[in-house]
Structures are given as structure tokens and as C-alpha cells.
Structure 1
Amino acid sequence: MRSILGVCALTVALTAGLVAVPNEARAQTPVLCSETSLVNAITAANAAGGDTLALVPFCTYQLTSAHGSGPTGPVGLPPITTSITLLGMGATITRDPSAPAFRVLQVQGAANVPGTKGQLSLVGVTVRGGSAVPPFPGGGISNLGGTVSLLTSAVTGNTAVAGGGIYTDNGAVSLVGSSVTGNTAVASGGGIYVNSGGATLLATNVSGNTPDNCAPSGSVIGCT
């Protein structure tokens, strides 16, 4: 409930102009409550050089197949290669349990994938049920040289060899008022795995992940 209220408060603040944002950031593209609509919206946003996508509040976007691929296996949604914000207002993006294995989201930046500049912001979104194809890491979100920001969002119920919830390599991840819980890794980093780059937490709960919450030990300050 606190997460939903936090998203509502943020939305009200943005609408009222209490939070300073560029004019172009105020424009939003609505996304109907369907897998196809979300896939098409992200594809269009990448082609346009970025966008803010307004998801249907409390909608469950259920992914039945992979719609992208990258250096580390199939991805449920097209890899993020530009600056994209997903405004969720309680929306969930999940892999259908009967679907083949794939992670939910992947962000690609120039450090790992030349010619890309992926920046993903999730606001009030839950990422659930991703399953990265072995031996690749990052079941929920894989950040390959890009930037990932989570605000009042959740990553839960995802699996991978490492970084069951979130994996980052040569990139930056920040979580504010969010949670990473109930994710599983075969090796380590059930919640978050930092291969290189960094991850920061503010008022964020990382707990109940298997076999540990963050790896390597000490890589994420405030994560035990």
C-alpha cells in the first residue's frame, strides 16, 4: 500500500509541477493492457530515441514469449537501448509461468553493446517471474552497460544462475523506496549481483532471496 501511495504522490507532484522535470519528460504515451501493446510501445520508444510510457494502473502485462535477444539470451521485452520510463501505478510485468525461459527486461549501454545508450526508469512497476536461460545471469532485469532506476517498484520471483532479481555489468543501478524479494540464483546474488559498476539503495528492502541477497559480499552498501 505504501508503494502505491508513493507512486500516487509522485504523480500528483509531477502533474502539479512540484518536481522539476524537462518539458519533454511530461509527455506520456499510454500503453493498453496487453503484451502486444507494451512490446510495440517499447520498440517505438527505442526507435524514437526515448519516451515515457504510461502503463494501465494495476494491469498485469503477461509475457507469453520472448520479444528480444541479446548477448546473454532471450528477453521478454525488446532490450532497452534509449532512455525509457515506465510509469506503472501498480502495474506488473510478468513472464507467463508456462512460457519458455527468458528474463523480463534488459538494458543495453555503450560500455557493453556499442551504439546503444539504454536508460530504464521504473516507477510503480513490479517485475516478476523472469527466468534467464542458463548459464546467463539476470532473471528479472539485466543491465549491460546502461542505467537502471527503480522508484517505488518491486523485483520478485525471478531466477537465474546469478543475479536472480537484478544483474548489472559496467552499469549503474539505483533503487529508492523499492523492494527486491523472493528471487533465486543457482550460484550467488539471489537478489542483486554486481559484476562491475555499482548499485545503490535508499529506503529499499532487499531480503528473502536465495541463496543470498547481494553478491559479491560488500558490493551493495546496506545489503546484508
Structure 2
Amino acid sequence: MFIRKPSALVAQAVCAGAIATVIGTATPASAQTNVPCSASALFTAIANANTSGGGSLVLAPGCTYRLSSPLPDITSTIAINARHSTITRVSTTSFGILSVSPSGNLALTDATITNGDAPDFGGGIANRGTLTVTDSAIRNNHANFSGGIGGGSGTTTRIVRTSIMGNTANVNGGGVANDGNMTISNSRIIDNTAGGAGGGAANDGTLRIVDTNVNENSAGRAGGVANFGGGTTSITSSNVNSNAALVAPGGVLNAGGVVTLQSSRVKGNQPTNCAGSDIPVPNCVG
């Protein structure tokens, strides 16, 4: 596991393609709520949707929701259509931007999530339940583990057509860290940093990376992707290029479990692509 109990949590063009894996998304139970451009309105809307057993929240287009305190955890089935709005932390207090509880199911669309600073995991979004992020940007967030998005044990996370950029983790998973079941498709994981391993992504659950670029990330080890424990990581029709690490490998590390590469390129990583991995990575050269 990447993170301590009780949660058992862990942890440049985009290629075209499709993914066959079907993962449940949020289907709100109640009527649509338009959320005015204020952090307090967003707080109230989430709290009311939780109380009502679900809801569909439509944010003010192009708004910046400036948080001086944490939003409520998502505890029900909620869809947030951000309409190109930004949710950001403006307080000196450390907290992540969004958090999904074990009973929660969040579908987030067209959002920018930035400047989260979680003391534990998931600087941008911490998922303990079910999460789908589509057509969004998760950037410049920070946490101990999983600077951008973190998926805990028993969770389901789906990331589609989303940029995960400029996030930082003190330990593992600068962009994302996964201890559950995570699928990333048609996305970009770029310019993230981890002090430990997995600058782009760290996994000890089940991670699928499809039609995605994992490029120009950095870490102490495995600037691109790191697989741990009994984890399973599959990288399909994707690029893991130009990542950097202090200790080899620079591209893909398998420290335990299974890593598969299918129709993917691992190229130009420093100091190596996969050489130096604890367990050799099939179909990776250099």
C-alpha cells in the first residue's frame, strides 16, 4: 500500500483510440441545480445534494470558485458539469479540492482543479468511492501521495480526455496514484513530479493506461510509471517518453506484480527506459 491506514490508499498530442472497459458513472437522482459563482454556493449545493441522495450541479460558466475551506465530501451520487470553471484553494490551510467518500459517486466534467494541497493523498481529487473525470484539467496540486488524483483500495476511478499536469507528490504518484481499479484513456499525464517513484503514475492495484501520453514527468525512480506489490499495470497504445529519474529506470518500473506494454512506445527516458527495473518489463528496450 502507498498510504497508511485506515483508508488503505495510495498511492505531446494525445493518441486517438477507444476503451472497452465499462465503469459505472454517476446518475443523479434529483433535479439539476445551477450553482452561482461563489465558493459558499458550491459548498451548499454539494451539501444539499448529499442530503437529497444525489443531484446534478451545473456551475457558472468560466467561473473561478475560490475555496478558503474544504468542500463537503461527496457522499451520494453527484454529477458536476463545471462548464469550463475552475475550483481552486486560496487558503493557507492545506486541503484537497474534492473528496469522494466510500458511499460517493462523482462524475466531474469540464473542470479545472488546481492548487489543492492535501496532507495525505489526492491533492486534486481523493477518491474513496467511485469517480469519473471527463474533459478536465487536474493541474498544480500537491499531496504526500498522488498529487493530482488518488484512488484508494476498493475504489473505481475513470479518467477520460483529461490533462493531469504539474502536480507533485512528496512520495509516490506525482500525477496519479492508485490502490484500486483505475482506467486512464485518451489523456495526458505530463510534467508531474514525485519525490519517491512514479512521477506520472504509481500503482499497486489495477491500472489501465490507454491512448494516453505519459511524458516529461520526473521522480526519484521511474519518472513515468511505477508498479508495486501485487499491482497490475497495462499500457496500451500509449507513449511513455522523455521522463526522468535520479535512479534507473526513468520510464517504467515494475517493483512487483505485472506490467504489460501493448502497441506502446517507451522512448527517450533518462537514465534508462526500463533497464534497472526490479522485474523486467516485456517489450521495453533500453
Q: Which residue of 1 aligns with 2:143?
A: 160
User: CA contact under 8 A between 1:199 and 1:220: conserved in structure 2?
Assistant: no
Unpaired runs of at least 5, structure 2: 1-25, 204-225, 241-286
Q: Note the alpha carbon deviations across 1:95-150, whole angstroms, 9 max, x for none.
A: 01x431111111011xxxxxxx20001110111100012xx111111111x11101
Tell me the CA shift for residue 86 of structure 1: 0.6
Residues 1:119 and 1:30: Cα distance change in structure 2 (over 3 Å): same
Q: Which residue of 2 aligns with 1:207?
A: 190
Task: Please give the TM-score of this superposition, normalised by the length of structure 1.
Answer: 0.76
Q: Which residue of 1 aligns with 2:35?
A: 31
Aligned letter for 2:202?
A
Higher Cα Rg, which structure: 2
Tell me the CA shift for residue 221 of structure 1: 3.7
Q: Which residue of 2 aligns with 1:100?
A: 93
Taking only aligned residues, the RMSD between alpha carbons, in angstroms, comes to 1.9
Aligned letter for 2:170?
V
Partners in 1 of 2:134 and 2:98 — Cα distance?
A: 16
Aligned letter for 1:155?
I
Unpaired runs of at least 5, structure 1: 1-20, 66-75, 110-116
Q: Which residue of 2 aligns with 1:125?
A: 111
Partners in 2 of 1:78 and 1:57 — Cα distance?
A: 22
Residues 1:221 and 1:57: Cα distance change in structure 2 (over 3 Å): farther
Q: Which residue of 2 aligns with 1:60?
A: 64
Task: Please give the TM-score of this superposition, normalised by the length of structure 2.
Answer: 0.60
Partners in 1 of 2:168 and 2:48 — Cα distance?
A: 32
After the TM superposition, which residues 75-224 of structure 1 pair with which residues of structure 2 at under 5 Å, given as runs?
Answer: 76-96=70-90, 98-109=91-102, 117-133=103-119, 136-144=120-128, 146-169=129-152, 170-195=154-179, 197-211=180-194, 212-216=199-203, 217-218=226-227, 221-222=234-235, 224=240
Q: Which residue of 2 aligns with 1:72?
A: none
**Greater per-residue helix proportion:** 1
Task: Give secondary structure in 2 for the equivalent of 1:58.
Answer: coil
Partners in 2 of 1:40 and 1:221 — Cα distance?
A: 40
Partners in 2 of 1:64 and 1:175 — Cα distance?
A: 27
Q: How many residues align?
A: 181
Partners in 2 of 1:181 and 1:23 — Cα distance?
A: 29
Tell me the CA shift for residue 89 of structure 1: 1.1
Residues 1:188 and 1:100: Cα distance change in structure 2 (over 3 Å): same
Residues 1:37 and 1:208: Cα distance change in structure 2 (over 3 Å): same
Partners in 2 of 1:101 and 1:60 — Cα distance?
A: 19
Identity of aligned residues (%): 38
Q: Give every structure 1 segment of 4 or more consecutive aligned residues whose post-TM-superposition deviation is greater than 2 Å.
A: 21-25, 218-224
Partners in 2 of 1:33 and 1:179 — Cα distance?
A: 24
Partners in 2 of 1:150 and 1:208 — Cα distance?
A: 19
Aligned letter for 1:214?
A
